Structure 1
Amino acid sequence: MVRLGQVEKAVEIVKEEVQEQENVNTAVVGGVGTGKDFSVIIPNILLEEEKNLVVIDPIDQISNVYTFKEKQGYHILTYDLEKEDILQQLNNDLMAKKEEKLLIHVIFPNEFLGNQEMNSQRVMEFLMKIKEMQDIKWGQEKSLHLFLMEYEGYASPEFHAIFQTWCGYRISTTLSVQHVLRLDDVILDNCHYVLYKRILDPQAAEWIAETLKYHHVEFHPKILGTKLLPLPLTAGMLMDLPINLGLLQKNYRDNPYGNDSWTKFVETYNAEDILGRAL
């Protein structure tokens, strides 16, 4: 399951969680300090209790949630891509733990700001090993959720195949990125959802507002101080979003002529509320 936020309905204000039971691709966009990982990525990791989880987390933001996940029955496997023989170690671990519910955590903190091409190659080689296991064993029993945190540090056209085809192998993919303009059209076109947190870059905010100008957006009472109203979206609204809100865009995917595409403001989550302690 991918949890995307909560919406408030007009007339009688009732919160309703936006969930997706199918395997989908999601992009979460927001600058530094806007909560894209704290309020979306990490809560989805914490609240998932069934799927195997693979988290590409270059700067190691989630190691202090291990105990929480272990209490849910997860076995934690941690890998530093900067070390040698990681793929062999991964293969050995997967063979030994293939019956267990896994959280596979991947870091490369020292190289993250270095060679993007090298980072991309290492991550992709690692993920191909994961997909082999999903094809051979896991996919028969359970789905997998792949998280690509701070995607800009290892972005590459090699990842196109993940967004184009991996849903068919019972794999959901959720990425976080600071700048939407760094995502190429192949990835954006193959995302079922795009969730925008506060946008810090005026150029990006203008681009988003222009892209969504023909979409009817239901405005959250916390933004306007009134009941939900459909109004034109502006760049200023995106740049002034409260930290606990996001703009969620559901894209046409399966039926381009259908009416299942929409754009709504949603209240996002708080990782510390879920943990019951500071992150």
Structure 2
Amino acid sequence: MSQAARLVDTAQIVAEFGTSKSRVSELSNDPNSGFPRVVPTEGRKRLWRYDQVAAFFAQRAPKQRTLPAAVLEADQDELLSKREVTKLLGYAGTATIDAYFRDRPDYFPLPDHDGVDGPHWRRGTIVAWATSRPGKGRRRSATSSPLPEVSADGDPDEPLGTAEVAALLGYGSAASFSSALSQGRVPELPEPDSLEKKEGARGRPSRKWRRATIVAVARRRGVLAAADEEHEDLVGAADAARILGYKDTDSFLSALGHGYLPGLEEPDGVEHRRGSAGRPRQQRWRRSRIEELAAHRSSAP
């Protein structure tokens, strides 16, 4: 069957053209939208000619963005601060870029350099992104480099860069860590232990922290177990519920929340969401403590 003769339904339009069922319905019901007419067929399913639908969406495709000639002719290797990038893109403030890193990981390009004065991008990086990214609607995320595997047990004095620190602190990318750091959302992290700049490299020096410094911060944030807990057998709510004879985890947590287990109100550890200093995701208790309570409850008259 030729594409001209092919008929498509709402689900196929959604799958092929990246829209939604409600949007297709809205366009189809609006006589001024220019959306193709439904092809008369037997049955209740609405069908459209594929070639007409394809032409409609092709006509509505966003045009490639253009930037002022002065921007395109300037030094494309020059490093720009976040504020300068904001001005180049015409944003009202740097909060837009911060929101990209916070809410849409891997959408905005990673900094080309992350030094003591914050993240910086080459002008060419921003120009390439601004002229090639899609317009409003669904956007494809750029592929970011995976974070390295970093051990907490290495040389405590080894200097770690942004990517290694992001990995140890549980962030999804170096960019999300840099964004959090610039916004003051990593208050436990002290000033860098050193600044390093490779010979002949452009831009500002890179920030480095000792492994021991980062491991200590990771322990305080709950990303790594505290040193005195590493050899403790800690259990979560599910195991505690089973040991204490509750029918499920919810029953145990309900009893805990209503004060029926005063001996367990203070956990021995907490497991935070990775990269977050917010509320703990799971409380943890020493197994010996839970088993002792279970034995006491079973022996009570």
TM-score surpassing 0.5? Answer: no
Query: TM-score of the superposition, structure 2-length normalised?
Result: 0.23
The higher radius of gyration belongs to 2
Give the number of the structure whose residues are more often strand, by fraction. Answer: 1
- With structure 1 as the length reference, what TM-score do the two structures score? 0.24
